[in-house]
Amino acid sequence: MFVLDLGLSNLLVQAYVAAAKDSRERLSGLLSTAFVALAGLGTLSVLVFIVLALKLPGPFKIPPEYVGKASIVFILMAVATQLGLPTMALEYACQAFHRFDRINQVQLVTVTVRVVLTVVLLADGYGLVALAAVQIMVSLSRLLLLYAALRRSVPGAHLDVRRLDWNLLRPLLRRGAWASLDNSARQLAGTSDSFILGVFSPVSSVALFGLAAKLPTQLLNMVTKGAGVILPSLARHHADRDRRQLQSVYLNTQNLVFSGMLPVVVLGCVCARPLIQVWAGSAYLAAAAVMQWLLLAALSLAMEYASDLLLYACGEVKTAARIAIFESVANVLVSLVLVFRYGAVGLAAGTAVTHILINAFWYTPAACAAAGIRVSALVKAAMGGQTWLLLLLFGEVVVIRLLWFALSPVWVLIAGVIGGVACMAVWWLRTAVPMWRLRAERADSSV
């Protein structure tokens, strides 16, 4: 339902950066107006959820005994969405001024609350309805914590719903048409898999896909949260016409993302079967192949994310939206073709192949063109300095495969974890730390 934000989620960070260059009053006016607008759009999402709840089961293969609970969950999630939309206005204000530390603190508190409440409720025998209620509490906590931290996080900014200036929001809404299409396409791509399985496959396939998607989804979320910090810098460098710094931020990000994710993706694919067996049991071994395809898709999506941020920072909203729309439609069509014959595995394969091809032949070239660099320079930057990491990763894969039949699934998984930790240590020492030191030296020299 976050497609109802009219594309504001893709434009607010850049708008806050530009508004702050004029005055803090302009920034506060934009913040307040965006907050009210998103709260109003949240009300619309509540109405949509209620209509959906009344129409269940609809096209979904929900067993009759679960329809009542499903309707309640839909309504509870409507309330969570109502709270989540205006929260974005506050969170993006923190992002615009590099207060990711504050966002992480809020995230830590809300995740802790969610985990504790989930464990307690499940231990007491409560089910899905109670977990949906927990989501409401988490959304409300996030909203209140970000509001309380706003003044200390963004000096000079304040939220006052009585002082609205819709003229500040209109330029965003004009560009927001394409941004909204982009957002809608991405939401479609993110939800189409479960929707297709829910309509054309048994519930067991949905369960397999959901289990297999846990690791790739969490990995992608972690990487995109980390990579998202570059958007304010990209927007500032573009506004200052500093193309050299723009290119540097983009190339360094792609290097960190690729080299940081590669060991997890490779070892995750190698150890997918023992991981599923240890985690969920032999009955879910079919989820291993699904996880492997989704890990490959996650790597491509992470590389796409940095390119998407660059396009938005450079004002290439229309280009980003066109690519996202084409990618989402292609993903749905390919998934529909493969799901009938291969089930959840075909769906995951369609997702991975679609994202990899479009990223390689459209997303990456478009971002490079916007930044004024060659694709070959991006490939060189992403792979640069990773010889030791690649050699270590190759050796670990060979060792795990040689010991595959001599070790139990638990020990294979332990070997994979140890190998992953070793690769991440090499990545940290040879890539992350030198890049951090270089950034610090540049900051000192500029002072």
Domains of the chain by residue range:
1-164, 175-447
Dihedral sign of CA atoms 159, 39, 20, 249 in order = positive
In tens, the pLDDT along 276-308 reads: 888 888 888 888 888 999 999 999 999 988 898
R_g over Cα of the chain: 23
Question: 2: pLDDT confidence band, cut at 50, 70 and 90?
Answer: low
Show the tokens assigned to 280. Answer: 């969920």
In tens, the pLDDT along 197-242 reads: 766 766 677 778 888 888 888 888 888 877 777 888 888 788 778 8
Find, among 287, 263, 401, the residue nearest to 344 by Cα. 287
Find, among 247, 246, 228, 226, the residue nearest to 238 by Cα. 246
Sequence letter at residue 296: L
Show the tokens assigned to 322. Answer: 């066109």
Question: 69: pLDDT confidence band, cut at 50, 70 and 90?
Answer: confident
CB 290 within 8 A of CB 417: no
pLDDT value, residue 320: 85
Show the tokens assigned to 27. Answer: 């920034």
pLDDT value, residue 1: 61
Locus of tokens 């016409």: 241
CB 293 within 8 A of CB 149: no
